[in-house]
């Protein structure tokens, strides 16, 4: 499965290095459908119906590379593509 990304507004253009990681692709595809919304890790895991460990690794990798943003609210991490996210 190959995902095509378009650069809409100020959304980050994901590097090609995620093409070989299906879990990163799946997370990015999900977040791109909701670019201004923050999601908890649990919400992402349940929505994607995926293994929690794989999602954790994908989120850590995407956050470390700056492709997605991580926010802490009441000590709970939330993830989003857009720096101006709403809840």
pLDDT given at position 8: 46
Give the separation between CA 68 and CA 64, rounded to whole angstroms: 8
72 assigned to some structural domain: yes
State the pLDDT at residue 72. Answer: 94
CA distance 50 to 86: 25
Which domain CATH number covers 48?
1.10.10.10
Is residue 8 one of the residues assigned to a domain?
A: no
Residue 44 lies in a domain: yes
Does 4 map to a domain? no
- DSSP E strand boundaries for the chain: 39-40, 69-73, 76-80
Please indicate, yes or no, if residue 6 is contained in any of the structural domains: no
**47 in any annotated domain:** yes
Q: What is the pLDDT of residue 12?
A: 46
Is 1 part of any domain?
no
User: Could you tell me the mean pLDDT of each successive run of 10 residues in the chain, 87 residues long?
Assistant: 42 54 92 93 94 95 93 95 59
Neighbours of 22 (CB within 10 A): 14
Q: Which domain holds residue 46?
A: 18-80
Task: Give the chain's domain count.
Answer: 1
User: In this predicted structure, what is the pLDDT of residue 16?
Assistant: 55
Q: Is residue 13 part of a domain?
A: no
Is the CB of residue 68 less than 8 Å from the CB of residue 59? Answer: yes
Q: Specify the pTM.
A: 0.73
Per the structure block, which two tokens stand in for 12?
């980050």
């Amino acid at each position: 499965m190959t995902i095509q990304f378009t650069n809409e507004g100020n959304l980050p253009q994901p590097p090609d290095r995620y093409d070989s990681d299906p879990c990163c692709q799946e997370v990015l595809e999900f977040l791109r459908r909701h670019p201004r919304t923050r999601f908890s890790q649990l919400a992402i895991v349940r929505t994607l119906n995926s293994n929690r460990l794989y999602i954790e690794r994908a989120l850590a990798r995407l956050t470390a590379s700056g492709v997605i943003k991580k926010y802490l609210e009441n000590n709970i991490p939330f993830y989003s593509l857009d720096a101006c996210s709403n809840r």
